[in-house]
Amino acid sequence: MASVIDVVGIADDGWAGLDDGRRGLVERAATVIGGQRHLDLVADHVAAGAEMVRWPSPLRAALPALLDRVGDAVVIASGDPLRSGIGTTLVELLGADRVRIHPAVGSDVLARARQGWSAEETVVVTAVGRDLRAVLPHLTPGARLVVLCSDGDGPARLATLLSERGWGTSLLTARWHLGGSDEGALAHPAHEFTATTADLVVVCVEARADDPVRSSRTAGTAPGRPESFIDHDGQLTKRDVRASALARLRPTPGAHLWDLGAGNGSVALEWCLAADRATATCVERDPERAARITANAAALGLAGRVEVVVGDTTTTDLAGLPDAEAVFVGGGLDVDLLERTWTSLRPGGRLVAHAVTLEGESALIATHNRAGGELTRLSVEHAVTLGRFLSWTPARAVVQLATTKGTS
């Protein structure tokens, strides 16, 4: 019979906070695994002769060998082990049938309780071992965030980030050792928060924009942000056309996009901003633009969610890319690329492609004849000053193909 790992969540109140069921698991365990702090919390209650094992380093690479060696075991973890915790990693490695999770009340839940915030109106963001800029996509006026920090320097660094990005009037409440005897809290506006707190800290953020007019231009998840939302050299899909493309690509949580001929990555970046956990692979032949996509992703808090492949769309092996739910073709468009893209898509996959040349239009028409979908010609005009008056100035018209792959 395959071994089973019981993952016992423990809060800052330690052994006293465990119910009889979780206590029994620890008391009967032949092997107890955890970080040193967690092992210390239960050390006086394990069975005589039980093996106490600290997590190996590097953790992910060494885990399979450790789990094979120990067999059945009890793992001690913080709070809810499935909230940015070891429980998620163990389920990914072993499968849900070999991992039993016994959660405690997590620090994010306790933080919400102290604040009086409901779960429905609160977003939890983990910055434990991650870039703090992961909070940025969630900043909208009035948003309530609970940010899990790596250490006591996290609240002040978060405050600095928010102040630099125009959210300095946001109220930050740092809460540490929640539920334990050393529980404490400190609240200041972000532009005044400089203190180092105790470790095991979370920060409750009530988002307030310094300039409501400026923040409203990029707030929310709807696509079509002004071109200035990223650094670019002019090679990007303009906002009105970009909004149309994203409306047909339909970003969904956790879905993956290929942005082929990505330019400065505007479509891929808005795809990721539009849906939680959405990811993208950009293929861009110009190394400078490719580097700019990576920098733009980090600046928007999307580090790790946007992969950039430097290469020409005509020669890049699409089979080597992660499976995609949707594909946008904005550059390097020809019949062969559309054929390879269509072949790579699974049933239900969406393809949106843009053309501004007659040759590109011909390729879209050929694909439309075979795959169906919608062909749309998008023409946008902007009012600009002409002497003492306003006059319409048209942008280059774009032909758009949007189609979904069927099962046949």
* Section 372-378 average pLDDT: 95
Retrieve residue 343's tokens: 């072949």
Whether the bond between 81 and the residue before it is cis, its omega within 30 degrees of 0, is: no
Cα 252 to Cα 84, 125, 201, 221, 275, distances in angstroms: 21, 19, 31, 11, 5
- Asked if 96 and 124 sit in the same domain, the reply is no
User: H or E element: which one contains 245?
Assistant: helix 239-249
What's the helix, strand, coil split of the chain in %, to 5? 35, 25, 40
294 within 8 A of 265, measured Cβ to Cβ: no
Entry pTM: 0.89
CATH number at residue 153: 3.30.950.10
Q: Are residues 207 and 345 in the same domain?
A: no
pLDDT at 1: 58
First to last CA, the chain: 42
Q: Residues 310-368: pLDDT tens digits?
A: 999 888 889 899 999 999 998 778 999 999 999 999 999 999 999 999 999 999 999 99
Per residue in 136-195, pLDDT (tens digit) is: 999 999 999 999 999 999 999 999 999 999 999 999 999 999 999 999 999 999 999 999
Q: Residue 73 is part of a domain; what is its CATH number? A: 3.40.1010.10
Gyration radius (Cα) of the chain, Å:
26
- How far apart CA 209 and CA 211 sit, in angstroms, is 5
253 and 359 belong to one structural domain: yes
Average pLDDT, the chain: 94
Same domain, 242 and 356: yes
What domain range includes position 91?
A: 5-105
Kindly report, residue by residue over 296-320, the tens digit of the pLDDT: 999 999 999 999 999 998 888 898 9
Percent of the chain with pLDDT strictly greater than 90? 88
Looking at the fold, whether 88 and 141 belong to one and the same domain comes out as no
CA 15 and chain centroid, separation:
34
* Same domain flag for 192 and 100: no
pLDDT category, 107, cuts 50, 70, 90? very high
Confidence of residue 289 (pLDDT cuts 50, 70, 90): very high
355: enclosing H helix or E strand: strand 350-355
Number of neighbours of residue 352 by Cβ within 10 angstroms:
25
Quick one: tokens of 317?
Answer: 């092996």
Could you tell me where the beta strands, DSSP code E, fall in 136-183? 144-148, 171-176
What are φ and ψ of residue 257, in 5° steps? Answer: -120, 140
pLDDT of residue 84 exceeding 90, the answer is no
pLDDT digits (tens, 9 = 90+) for 27-50: 999 999 999 999 999 999 999 999
97 and 125 part of one domain: no
Last residue of a domain, one of 192, 213, 234: 213
- Residue 316 and residue 336 in one domain: yes
Please report the pLDDT score of residue 129 as a whole number: 84
Q: Would you call 364 exposed, middle or buried from its count of C-beta atoms within 10 A (0-12, 13-18, 19+)?
A: buried
- CATH at 339: 3.40.50.150
Q: Which of 58, 78, 105 is the last residue of a domain?
A: 105
Q: How many other C-beta atoms are found inside a 10 Å radius of the C-beta of residue 237?
A: 25
The SS3 of residue 114 is helix
Percent of the chain past pLDDT 70, that is, above it, reads 99
Same structural domain, 379 and 363: yes
| 26 neighbors 10 (Cβ within 8 angstroms) | no
Token pair in block for residue 149 = 């920090």
pLDDT tens across 228-270, in order? 999 999 888 999 999 999 999 999 999 999 999 999 999 999 9
Same-domain check for residues 175 and 266? no
Give yes or no: residues 321 and 376 share one domain.
yes
Query: Which among 182, 213, 244 is the end of a domain?
Result: 213
Provide the number of structural domains found in the chain: 3
Q: How confident is the model at residue 55 (pLDDT cuts 50, 70, 90)?
A: very high
Instruction: Please tell me whether residues 397 and 252 are part of one structural domain.
Output: yes
